[in-house]
Structure 1
Amino acid sequence: MSINIRFLPDNVTVDAEVGEPMLQVAERAGIFIPTGCLMGTCHACEVEMDDGEAICACITAVPTGRQELTINLYFDPNW
């Protein structure tokens, strides 16, 4: 199943498959999400979903049960 994912603040959209790694989707869309440990521990890749939930993009896959998803990118100036 395909899901339309929109990355803010640049308003870039891309189609993704359920279960596809979020970092892979972002890269395909030309979106840079910084990473650190790639295990979800350091939170360098933390982004916010449209429902306000913060996720670590390095360990999160495209979820089921949605037709579209908005990801808010924000950057920690300490990284």
Structure 2
Amino acid sequence: MKIIFLPDNITVDAEVGEPLLEVAERAGIIIPTGCLMGSCHACEVEIDDGQTICACITAVPPERKEMTINLAGDIDW
């Protein structure tokens, strides 16, 4: 699967089930983290359908060819 990180338009290939934080790190992107359990929402990002997810507890989903992750959301953490 191809993952596109916005706003810098960085594209990286990823495998189904691979943790999103690892995909981002491999692409040279740092997603802030806190608890690494999804409770603090420090790693919250917006995906292509407008839904927000916690990158620390989310893996690359199956049955998709492309996914966009927007890192330019509200950074109040």
Q: TM-score, with normalisation over the residues of structure 2?
A: 0.95
Q: Say if 2:40 is the partner of 1:70.
A: no
Question: Any stretches of 5+ residues in structure 1 without a counterpart?
Answer: none
Q: Could you list the structure 1 runs, at least 4 aligned residues long, displaced by more than 3 angstroms after superposition.
A: none
Question: Any stretches of 5+ residues in structure 2 without a counterpart?
Answer: none
More strand by share: 1
Identity of aligned residues (%): 75
Partner of 1:12: 10
Q: Alpha-carbon deviation of 1:75?
A: 4.9
RMSD: 0.9
Distance of 1:69 and 1:62 partners within structure 2: 9
Q: TM-score, with normalisation over the residues of structure 1?
A: 0.92
